Amino acid sequence: MNSRDFHQSLTIVDGLIFHSDGNAADLRAGNVAACNVTVTGFDVDFTQALDDIALWLERLADPACEWLLVRSVDDIDRARQSGRTGLIMGWQNMRPIDDKLGRIRLAHALGVRVMQLTYNYANRVGDGCLEVRNAGLTGFGYEAIALMNDLGVAIDLSHCGERTCLDAVRASKRPVLLTHANAKAVSDQPRNKSDEVLRAVAESGGVVGLSIHGFMNWSGNPGEPPSLDHLMHHVKHVANLVGYEHIGIGTDFASVRDAEAVSDILKASATRYSGSSGEFTRAFGNALEKRYPAEMNSPRLYGRLTDALLKHGIPTAAIEGIMGRNLVRAFGEIWS
């Protein structure tokens, strides 16, 4: 089987698409079966979060919709077989719930299946990765995790602080996820995770969604932009640490018809969240396509990632897991 046919045979699940305006054509061109799509703004309140979900439910109600809502792992294969893209509705911040646990239950009933505990800074659940104090989970955060476990909502720790990550793993009775984060030992960037956190996530039965995004996938040298070869250092480091069965992919792509749809998000990442992105945007600019390896700067080019994994000698069975099957397994255990 040649590399193109091998890529087309894969069930690809992307751990994180940070925004979509409803466009799925590029994802389908890349043979993506399903993805965790951030369906609300990163720092919105409850009312706006509900409005954002309502917009997606309207899209899904259209008979011509390119998406299929994923409520269980069976829906991922249903989406692939029907030529649609599986929509795993996700949040990147639990700010919308404020101090009301019942809002987690409501979001789950509406279809949300992944919730990131914090987005860079602190909320009522715990501290994000840019909080210097590194205070970990709050008492309310422990209550939220217990309910998420009971309902079957995946816990995402990608933007969480070190102690929040470790507290959450210890508190959860189900696998936890890093949907889009890399190894700090390879790239010492604010958003990347220590070996202790990577081990803890794997020991929970979870998956580390390694990312091509430049905020996490560059050396810190302005002369070395993000590349797929650099990502392979992360793949091999995490594989040596916890095994291939705990590795996934979280590209942190946008799936949009026009890059202008994410212009406000790009501005915020370079200003409000500059602690995790300032050096990168100063080195390479703030255009959407510059945030990814030049050889894979569009969801249409997922096949380039398969090629890179093959080129670096990753076994085909491991590639099947990395590109999607490991996340499918973890989601099955979390959502059941």
Q: How many CB atoms lie within 10 A of CB 223?
A: 6
Q: Which of 31-35, 237-241, 259-263 has the lowest mean pLDDT?
A: 259-263
Residue 273 pLDDT > 90 = no
Condensed to tens digits (0 to 9), the pLDDT of residues 276-321 reads 788 899 999 999 999 999 999 999 999 999 999 999 999 999 999 9
Condensed to tens digits (0 to 9), the pLDDT of residues 108-118 reads 999 999 999 99
Q: Is 289 exposed, middle or buried (0-12, 13-18, 19+ CB in 10 A)?
A: exposed
Task: Write down the pTM of the prediction.
Answer: 0.97
- Superfamily for domain range 8-335: Metal-dependent hydrolases (3.20.20.140)
Cα–Cα dist 156/168, whole Å: 10
Cα–Cα dist 36/89, whole Å: 6
Question: What pLDDT is attached to residue 148?
Answer: 98
Condensed to tens digits (0 to 9), the pLDDT of residues 178-213 reads 999 999 999 999 999 999 999 999 999 999 999 999
Question: What pLDDT is attached to residue 65?
Answer: 97
The rounded Cα 148 to chain-centroid distance in angstroms is: 18
Condensed to tens digits (0 to 9), the pLDDT of residues 247-272 reads 999 999 999 998 899 999 999 888 88
Condensed to tens digits (0 to 9), the pLDDT of residues 126-155 reads 999 999 999 999 999 999 999 999 999 999
Question: What pLDDT is attached to residue 20?
Answer: 98
- Mean of the per-residue pLDDT values for the chain? 97
Contact present, 294 and 231 (Cβ < 8 Å): no
Q: ∠183-14-160 over CA atoms, to 5°?
A: 45
Question: What pLDDT is attached to residue 270?
Answer: 82
Condensed to tens digits (0 to 9), the pLDDT of residues 34-61 reads 999 999 999 999 999 999 999 999 999 9
Ordered by start, the domain boundaries in the chain are 8-335
